[in-house]
Amino acid sequence: MSEPAPAKRQKSSKDVPYHLIYWPGIPGRGEHVRLALEEAGAEYTDTAFTDKGMDEVLAMIDAKNLGDEVNLPLCAPPMLRHGDLVINQTPNILLYLGGRLGLVPPADEDADGVYRVNGLALTALDGFSNEVHDCHHPIATGLYYEDQKEESIRKSKDYVKNRLPKFLGYFERVLQSKPSGEGPWLYAGRLTYADLVLFQCLDGTKHQFPKAVEKMRKSGDYDRVFALYEAVQERPRIKAYLKSDRRQKYGLGIYRYYKELDVVE
Amino acid sequence: MSEPAPAKRQKSSKDVPYHLIYWPGIPGRGEHVRLALEEAGAEYTDTAFTDKGMDEVLAMIDAKNLGDEVNLPLCAPPMLRHGDLVINQTPNILLYLGGRLGLVPPADEDADGVYRVNGLALTALDGFSNEVHDCHHPIATGLYYEDQKEESIRKSKDYVKNRLPKFLGYFERVLQSKPSGEGPWLYAGRLTYADLVLFQCLDGTKHQFPKAVEKMRKSGDYDRVFALYEAVQERPRIKAYLKSDRRQKYGLGIYRYYKELDVVE
C-alpha cells in the first residue's frame, strides 16, 4: 500500500504495521479502525484475516489475562497493537491513530481540534452505534435476540421515532455551523476520523433500519448528513476498500437486520 | 504532533477558571468532571450553583443552537467551557483536563499513558455508568421509569448477575497487573483521572444496587477495587469535597434507587 502523507511522521520503534485485533466475521466496532487505516493507506494486519485470529481475540480477553510488562489487560475488542503498545476502546484507538494518520487537524495549527473531533466521534458512536445495538439487545447482551424480541420492537420504535431524528438533526446542525467550514466535512473544512465514524455509523444504522433511514433521507431535513455519507464513499481509498473482500458483510454483530425491527414511525 | 495532552501547563489566554455546564440538581455525568477539578484544587464554576444555570444548559442544547465562531454545537451536557473553548462528552472533557490538571502521567515520561488512562475511563463509564443507567431505562430514555419497570427489573437482574462481576473482575485484574504499579491506583502507581472515574462509577452503582454491590464487596474477589474506592475517598481534597454542599445527592439522574431493582443474584 502507498504511504500516507501525515504532517510529521517520524521513523521510530513504532514505525511498524498496525495490527487490529477484532472478532473475525463481522465489521462491528473494528470497522471504524479499518476505515481510518484504509483512508490513510496505512499498512496493517487484521485478525479478521489472519490464521488463528479468533484465538488471538479470545486470548486477549481471557479472564486470566493480566496484560504484560507494559500493557494493562483489556476488557473487549477492538484492540490495536502498534509495536509494544496494545490499547482498546474504539474512540481511544481512533484518538491514537488520528494524529499519526493525518485524520485530525495538526496540533500546531489547531491544538483544540483533537477534542472537537473526539467529541464528534463519541457522539456518533453513542447515537448510531451503542443505541442501535441496544435496539436488538435491550435487556441483556448475554441473551439471544429471540429472548428479548418484544422489548426490541418497542425500543426500535422509540429509536426511529425519537433518537434517530435527534442525532441526525444534531449532525446536520454541526454541518451548518461556522466551525464546520466549507465542503462536506464535520470540522474545519477537512476530512477527519469523525467523518469516517459518522459514515460507518450511518451505514450500519441503514442496514438495521433501512425503511426509517430512507424516510429520513427523503425528508430533506438531513441533506448535509447524507451528502457527507456519499462523500466518504467517494474517497478513492474508501471506495476501493468498500468493493474489496476486506469489507465484511453485516451479520450478527452491532448492526443486524430483523424484518420486525425495520419499523417507521 | 500526535499527543493530545500537553505535559506542562502554560500561562495562556486560557489560564482562566474552568466552567462546568451540567444539569443542576444531580451529580450525573458532570460529577466525573467535578471530581477531577476538586482533586486538582482547580478554580471552577458550575451551573449547578450559578444563577440561571438550568437556562444555560438548555440554551446550549437548543435545537437551533449552531455553536459560535470557533465552537461546534454540542449535543448534550456535561460541557466544559475554558476560555473560548467549549467541548462536551465526559471522557473527552477528562482527556482535556487530564494533562492540564496533572491527572495523567506527563507526556515526556510516558507518551502512551494518556491512552491507557483514557481506555480505562471509557471502560468504567461503559460498565458502571451507561449500563447502570440503562437498567432503569432499558426501552426509551424519553419514557418514564414506570412505563418500563418490568423490563428494568429484568435488565437489573442480568446486570447484577453477569455484568457487575464482569466489570469488577476486569478492574481487579487491572489492579493485579504489572503496569498498574504499586499502591491502590489503576495505572503506573499514581492517581489518574481513571481512578476518580472508577470511584464515582462504583459509588453510583452502589447507590442503585446497594445489596448487590455489598455482596460483591463481601465476596473478597474484588478487594483491590474496593480498596481503590476507599483510597479515593481518603484523598484530602476529595474527602473535603464529599462532605461539602457541592456534592449533590443522587436523585432522578444516571443512578437511581428503586427498591424493586435492588436485586441480588
* Complex ipTM: 0.95
Residue A6 is predicted with a pLDDT of: 44
Closest residue of A to B90, CA-based? A119
| A74, A79, A92, A152, best to mutate vs chain B, most B CBs in 10 Å | A92
Inter-chain CB proximity A72 and B170 less than 8 Å? no
Provide the chain A residues 93-122 that lie in CB contact (below 8 A) with chain B: 95-96, 98-100, 106-108, 111-112, 114-116, 118-120, 122
* pLDDT band at residue A15 using 50, 70 and 90 as cut-offs: confident
Residue A230 has a CB neighbour count (10 Å cut-off) of: 10
Dihedral angle, C-alpha B119, A191, A36, B180, nearest 10 °: -20
Residue B248 has a CB neighbour count (10 Å cut-off) of: 19
CA angle B101, B104, B109 (to 5 degrees): 115
CB nearest A116 (choices: B72, B176, B187): B72
- Is the pLDDT at A122 greater than 70? The verdict is yes
Q: Does B130 touch chain A (CB under 8 A)?
A: yes
Q: Tell me: cis bond preceding A4? Omega within 30 of 0 counts.
A: no
Which grid coordinates are listed for B155?
435488565
Our measurement of the distance from residue A115's CA atom to the centroid of its chain's CA atoms, rounded to an integer in Å, reads 17
Size of interface A-B (CB pairs under 8 A): 171
Residue A140 has a CB neighbour count (10 Å cut-off) of: 19
Our measurement of the distance from residue A224's CA atom to the centroid of its chain's CA atoms, rounded to an integer in Å, reads 19
- Condensed to tens digits (0 to 9), the pLDDT of residues A200-217 reads 999 999 999 999 999 999
- The closest alpha carbon to A178, from B66, B188, B88, B117, belongs to B66
265 residues of chain B, pLDDT tens digit each? 344 444 444 456 678 999 999 999 999 999 999 999 999 999 999 999 999 999 999 999 999 999 999 999 999 999 999 999 999 999 999 999 999 999 999 999 999 999 999 999 999 999 999 999 999 999 999 999 999 999 999 999 999 999 999 999 999 999 999 999 999 999 999 999 999 999 999 999 999 999 999 999 999 999 999 999 999 999 999 999 999 999 999 999 999 999 999 999 7
Q: Do A179 and B70 touch, CB atoms closer than 8 A?
A: yes
Which grid coordinates are listed for B156?
437489573
Inter-chain CB proximity B155 and A134 less than 8 Å? no
Question: Is B7 exposed, middle or buried, given 0-12, 13-18 or 19+ CB atoms closer than 10 A?
Answer: middle
CB nearest B115 (choices: A96, A112, A116): A96
Residue B1 is predicted with a pLDDT of: 38
How far is B198 from chain A, CA to nearest CA, in Å? 15
How far is B159 from chain A, CA to nearest CA, in Å? 8
- Give the mean model confidence (pLDDT) for residues A2-16: 56
Q: Tell me: cis bond preceding A78? Omega within 30 of 0 counts.
A: yes
Residue B36 has a CB neighbour count (10 Å cut-off) of: 25
Residue B13 is predicted with a pLDDT of: 66
CB nearest A89 (choices: B72, B88, B122): B122
Cα–Cα dist B207/B261, whole Å: 11
How far is B200 from chain A, CA to nearest CA, in Å? 19
Q: Do A18 and A80 touch, CB atoms closer than 8 A?
A: yes
- Condensed to tens digits (0 to 9), the pLDDT of residues B122-178 reads 999 999 999 999 999 999 999 999 999 999 999 999 999 999 999 999 999 999 999
Rg (CA), chain B: 19
Residue A4 is predicted with a pLDDT of: 44
Inter-chain CB proximity B2 and A99 less than 8 Å? yes
- Give the mean model confidence (pLDDT) for residues A227-253: 97
Q: Does B78 touch chain A (CB under 8 A)?
A: no
Closest residue of B to A99, CA-based? B2
The full DSSP string for chain B is ---SS-SS---STT-S-EEEE--TT--TTHHHHHHHHHHHT--EEETTSSTTHHHHHHHHT-TT----SS----SSS-EEEETTEEEE-HHHHHHHHHHHTT-S--TTT-TTHHHHHHHHHHHHHIIIIIHHHHTT-SS-TTS-GGGGHHHHHHHHHHIIIIIHHHHHHHHHHHHHSGGG-SSS-SBTTB--HHHHHHHHHHHHHHHH-HHHHHHHHHHSTTHHHHHHHHHHHTSHHHHHHHHSTTSPPP-SSSS---GGG----
Q: Does A155 touch chain B (CB under 8 A)?
A: yes
- Condensed to tens digits (0 to 9), the pLDDT of residues A127-161 reads 999 999 999 999 999 999 999 999 999 999 999 99
* pLDDT band at residue A13 using 50, 70 and 90 as cut-offs: low
What percent of chain A is modeled with pLDDT above 70?
95
- Condensed to tens digits (0 to 9), the pLDDT of residues A191-203 reads 999 999 999 999 9
